[in-house]
A = this chain, B = another copy of it.
Amino acid sequence: MKPTAVDYSLYLVTDRGLARGRPLLQIVAAAVRGGVSCVQLREKTCATREFIEQALAIKNFLHSRHIPLIINDRVDVALAVGADGVHLGQTDMPLAMARKIVGDSLLIGISAECLDDALAAAKDGADYLGVSPIYDTPTKADTAPALGLAGLQKIRKAVNLPLVGIGGLNAQNAADVIRHGADGVAVVSAIVAADDPQAAAARLRQAIEAARDKTP
């Protein structure tokens, strides 16, 4: 059964291509020690069996610390490893098909690249939205035009789901994203490529908590 209360505050999305040769589990462990509250495992090139083995090792670490694991794109991998959820982009499996397969066993997060995406995902029963991209980012080459803080705010007013901002976010601009209605900040390179992923996560988490204290 999918978890009922998820802390999306600081949401790490992995990318082994940015890990500078360090094992993902090592980066995930450091990031969690620094304050990451949710982890999405994204693997776009490895074989399914390797993806599953990687996911099981990371799940084993995360679950003993009550941190949810979300699998990018692959509904089958999410089911196979007993993850907490699956995250689907606009070129992944359509939400309604995925829900029919997984029922209430998994959270389903959807990447919303515009207001229409967000409204459709809310209508079809998404559990949370990745609002993407807030800013342009070199991490993903295939993204839609940047939404900016105004675009995030428009989606915040229109849907009642947890929103996680992603795209070009770091310790300097994370607070803005929280102040403009996001429930969490998702990052890839700001943690995965950092010299010290634990310290990077700690700075991000601090910025997020400070912004919340100041948000009415």
Contact = CB atoms under 8 A, between A and B. Distances in A.
Interface stretch (A44-52, A165-173, A196-204): A44-52
B91 A47 contact: yes
Interface string A55-96: 000000000000000000111110110000000001111100
Interface residues of A, number: 21
A97 B100 CA distance: 19
Nearest to A90: B49
A97 to B, nearest CB: 5
Given A48-B93, A97-B52, A75 B73 contact: no
A37 B91 CA distance: 31
A144 interface: no
Contacts of A49: 90-94
A101 B80 contact: yes
Nearest to A96: B80
Nearest to A50: B91
Nearest to A47: B91
A48 B92 contact: yes
Interface in A167-183: none
B52 A80 contact: no
Interface of A: 47-50, 52, 73-77, 79-80, 90-94, 97-98, 100-101
Of all A-B residue pairs in the complex, the 7 with the closest CB atoms, nearest first, are A75-B76, A76-B76, A47-B91, A80-B97, A48-B92, A49-B91, A79-B101
Given A48-B74, A49-B90, A80-B98, 12 more contacts: A48-B73, A48-B92, A49-B91, A50-B91, A52-B93, A52-B94, A75-B76, A75-B80, A76-B93, A76-B101, A77-B93, A80-B97
